[in-house]
Amino acid sequence: MKALVTDPIASAGIDLLREHGHEVETAYTLTQAELLEAVADAHALIVRSGTDVTREVFEAAPELRIVGRAGIGVDNIDIDAATEHGVIVANAPEGNVRAAAEHTVAMAFATARSIPQAHITLTGGEWAKGEFLGTEVNDKTLGVVGFGRVGQEVTKRLSRLGMDVVVFDPYISEERAAQVGAELVDTLEECLTHADFLTIHTPLTEETENMIGEEELAQLEGGYLVNCARGGIVDEEALATAVEDGLLRGAAVDVFASEPVSPDNPLLDVDGVIVTPHLGASTEAAQKNVAVSTAEQVLAAFEDEPVANALNAPSIDERSYPAIEPYIGLADTAGKIAVQLLDGRVEFVEVTYAGDIAGEDVDLVTASALKGVFQPLEWQVNAVNAPRIADQRGIEVVESRTRQIADFQSLVTVSVGNSEEEVSVCGTQFAGNDPRIVRIDGFRVDAIPHGHMLAVRNADEPGVIGFIGTVLGDAGVNIAGMFNARETIGGEALSVYNLDDTVPQDVRDRLDSDDRLIDTKYISLDNGEE
């Protein structure tokens, strides 16, 4: 088979493919039109960040089985288009973890001791020993935003050098943080106010874009910021101003919102900001590791074997698939609903199967439930990598089955929670591919899992439902369906509303102002029309 490599990778990966008898063509300077021609007969495409793998690429490549990204980020690959065309997309997230962690540590020391500035001054002929008074990391507090693989490796290294570590990550357990020697905090603000040094290790998503702005930098007053994760997470203008005005003592940045970085980027003009051109993974060992890992995944795809880091390739026995297929999306949606109803941190996920489905191979359904729970974490999470994310973040996953069931032929329940609270959402399939949410925390409902939902816990009193309908109506929010259940007469009730529109925050605030409403949660599902 043929593999087309359009960005430079270490020769070890190319050699591995050739050793297994496959043809490898390298073409590093293709225009987009030339790429469409070159990929026409390729079975694998291997890229880094320099090649845009668009929908047109997949349409031009009828033989393509896999796109291998020699690195972590897949922003340049249209994964939806790949899935539609039956093409696996796989990355190499492990290969450069050590390199990225070491570069982060190096940048922290460089900014704390003004090493580049001192070097430039000295090579310019000035012995300015008294101008550079550094900061020791010993007995200082490191704030870590995002506690994935790189964040944990940075923590291990700097904690051994005498730093206390606080972590903000809504998807990590206290136990996992403690295992690595860190204290988990509940808010970004708490992490910022405790930190002397702040280092960022989150993906760039809608949730994290410009997450660190002027207000957040003010909470880090007197500290240092290091970003070797992704550009766009930190407001570059605000960071430049904070360092230039002396609000921060320094910053070190390896990534930028737009790369290659523009010469007029404000970070380039501030003496207290150290910059490097996205060198986090630029070590010989890291480049070899990601090249070999990518090649191994291409080989697995060629042999129709499981691809370890596939981002869009569920694996299931063809004979079992018809029985479980209706529940894959339902479990995903139940997970999304459950995590949006939970107020606290996710420490465990339990997926329970009852009835006929309990006798099937449900690994893919469980993985889809985890995908729904973890969707806000990083955009490329899917049914393949969700179990690995749970393991890496110390989240307990429990799967249970029972053949005993009343009322339904099959029932899937997704429960999420922690030591203080738990939320459970049950779903089933009616005849004709008609998915329904039938219970929320024991309340019997009959909600269509689609679009926009509002779940309201309220006192079972006259006029409550009318009040909710009036508030929504006044805001122009149309109710497509409403389902009400209660514990006892005059006790607590739960109402679930299917809506045609989003619910603005001011509308939610108006609902919450009524003492009869115990809890109001707006739920947005990805299959809804915005």
Told to judge if 190 belongs to the known catalytic residues of this protein, a careful annotator would answer no
- Check pLDDT > 90 for residue 16: yes
- Check pLDDT > 60 for residue 438: yes
- Check pLDDT > 80 for residue 62: yes
Catalytic residue among 65, 249, 278, 452: 278
| Distance separating alpha carbons of residues 195 and 108, to the nearest angstrom | 13
| Distance separating alpha carbons of residues 113 and 132, to the nearest angstrom | 7
Length of the chain: 530
| Distance separating alpha carbons of residues 456 and 320, to the nearest angstrom | 38
Where is pLDDT greater, at 208 or 141?
141
pTM (two decimals): 0.69
Minimal CA–CA distance to 166: which of 131, 193, 130, 126? 193
Please name each of the domains of the chain with its CATH number: 2-93+284-302 (3.40.50.720), 97-275 (3.40.50.720), 321-524 (3.30.1330.90)
User: Picking from 39-48, 159-168, 308-317, 342-351, which range would have the lowest pLDDT averaged per residue?
Assistant: 308-317
Confidence of residue 527 (pLDDT cuts 50, 70, 90): very low
Catalytic residue among 103, 230, 345, 393: 230
| Distance separating alpha carbons of residues 451 and 237, to the nearest angstrom | 37
| Distance separating alpha carbons of residues 1 and 246, to the nearest angstrom | 58
Q: What integer is the mean pLDDT of 190-207?
A: 93
Confidence of residue 212 (pLDDT cuts 50, 70, 90): very high
Told to judge if 278 belongs to the known catalytic residues of this protein, a careful annotator would answer yes
| Distance separating alpha carbons of residues 401 and 354, to the nearest angstrom | 6
- Check pLDDT > 80 for residue 378: no
Told to judge if 259 belongs to the known catalytic residues of this protein, a careful annotator would answer yes
Q: What integer is the mean pLDDT of 313-324?
A: 67
Catalytic residue among 59, 136, 221, 259: 259
- Check pLDDT > 90 for residue 361: no
pLDDT at 224: 98
- Check pLDDT > 50 for residue 529: no
- Check pLDDT > 90 for residue 121: yes
Q: What integer is the mean pLDDT of 48-72?
A: 93
Q: How far is CA 194 from CA 113, 142, 220, in A?
A: 21, 8, 8
